[in-house]
Amino acid sequence: MSPMMNAVEMTPPSPSFATVTTRAYTVLVRNIPAIEAQVVENTKRAKKLGLPGYTFTKVGEARQELRTFLVNKGERETLERIMWVQDIEIQGPARIQFDGWTFVGIIEHGREGNLVKGLEGADMSAYTFAKGSCDHCQHNRARAKTLIASNGDKTVQLGTACVKHYLRGSQNFNIAAMAEFVLNAEFPAIKDEYDGEFEGGSGSDYFTVRDAMAAGIMFMLREGYKSKSENPAQDTKERVMFYLRPGKSPEARARRDALVREGFSITDAHWAMADEIEAYFGGLTDAEVTWDSFLNNVRTIVRTGDVSARNISILVGAVWGRIKAQYVPADKPVSQHVGAVKERRTFTVKLERVFEFDGLYGVTRFYLFRDVEGNVIKWKTGTDLKIEVGTELSFVGTISAHVDYKGVAQTEVQRCKVVQPS
């Protein structure tokens, strides 16, 4: 290695971007020492990276809550425990860029498949079935977790132990742990899950997939899907968790009783729907989940059988999608290639997905459509069509290639002109 390289490697990574946010959680009092330890540890990491540290504040007094645990697996049984809880706030850096690299995703490699979690806008489809390999050392071993980092041009998958080498930072800086902490706190999707993480790691923080689905179905058939941004603390995920394990005695008790009086109780019809939806997601093929890390995550969770408080929002969102799409036959047609290469023809399609990439010449977009026969049509363009997923349209285009992307037949088109809506 040249002296020049050494000099470069000695340079500490310079975080060029960091924002500070405050996040609120309700946690079990018995977990507070562990949370404080996390805050202290990550403050040390942050300071070494030249960032502000984390602060931890208790809000109000600790209080007792009655928590109810619904035990499924055949017989339905309810366990109740009174537990001490505390509202807290954690303030600190979020969304950090190290040395030009931003961590955009975490892949959790599990027995039943990967959980693929990316920042909004990050295309994680390449990692749906990714093994726990590492672009730094090229070693392909059984890692439980890998991090995805991007510098704008290039995206790499890294084992946590290799991050510090890859990002040419000092080996004293535990960038991987810091990145993971920040990612967990920062991703909107993961943030929900992180609330659950702070609730502690015991088995009682797991719900069965079937319970969570049935409760979700019960709420969403009545009131639709409630997002966290529009209904803080009253979003569907919170309502499901509260219903299955109400807290805050005696007010919580009264609130749950009121829900039951309003008719919120899980019926046989809900259980039957839950079984059907569980079978649907559990039975998705690899080809069907390849393009969609969300679907893939749902399948992984369903096949695992239990869902942590961290992942319950993924499941609830999926159930809502299924409720809305009831008219879609469960056996979606398999995509086939359309027409002949160089043929110019009209396509009538519905937009399924859009990917955006920042490139040298501006933003490139991949529009993925499906026609009525279920065939996937892909249009790569610099033009912003300004249409939403679900939009139906017709366009004239030239078939440029027939490709197979991870087992899915795709027809690529070029020089397209939208004819409807005009």
136 binds Zn ion (CB under 5 A): yes
Pair of tokens at residue 7: 């000099």
Q: Please pick, from the candidates 122, 147, 162, 175, the single residue that binds Zn ion as defined by CB under 5 A.
A: 162
What's the closest the beta carbon of residue 79 comes to Zn ion, in angstroms?
A: 43
Q: Which of 16, 316, 17, 32 is nearest to 199 (CA)?
A: 32
Give the separation between CA 359 and CA 382, rounded to whole angstroms: 10
Interface region with Zn ion, contact rule CB under 5 A, candidates 18-26, 135-143, 147-155, 206-214: 135-143
Give the separation between CA 93 and CA 246, rounded to whole angstroms: 32
What's the closest the beta carbon of residue 108 comes to Zn ion, in angstroms?
A: 17
What's the closest the beta carbon of residue 159 comes to Zn ion, in angstroms?
A: 4
Q: Please pick, from the candidates 124, 134, 179, 377, the single residue that binds Zn ion as defined by CB under 5 A.
A: 134
107 binds Zn ion (CB under 5 A): no
Residues 278-285: contacts with CB under 8 Å, at least 24 apart: 278/209, 278/210, 278/213, 278/302, 280/322, 280/330, 281/318, 281/322
State the burial class of residue 110 (Cβ atoms within 10 Å of its Cβ: 0-12, 13-18, 19+). middle
Interface region with Zn ion, contact rule CB under 5 A, candidates 127-135, 186-194, 351-359, 409-417: 127-135
Are the beta carbons of 375 and 337 closer than 8 angstroms?
Answer: yes
Q: Which of 337, 345, 328 is nearest to 376 (CA)?
A: 337
159 binds Zn ion (CB under 5 A): yes
Binding residues among 267-326 for Zn ion as defined by CB under 5 A? none
149 binds Zn ion (CB under 5 A): no
Give the separation between CA 341 and CA 337, rounded to whole angstroms: 10
137 binds Zn ion (CB under 5 A): yes
253 binds Zn ion (CB under 5 A): no
Interface region with Zn ion, contact rule CB under 5 A, candidates 102-110, 144-152, 157-165, 293-301: 157-165
What's the closest the beta carbon of residue 136 comes to Zn ion, in angstroms?
A: 4
| Interacting residues with Zn ion (CB under 5 A) | 134, 136-137, 159, 162
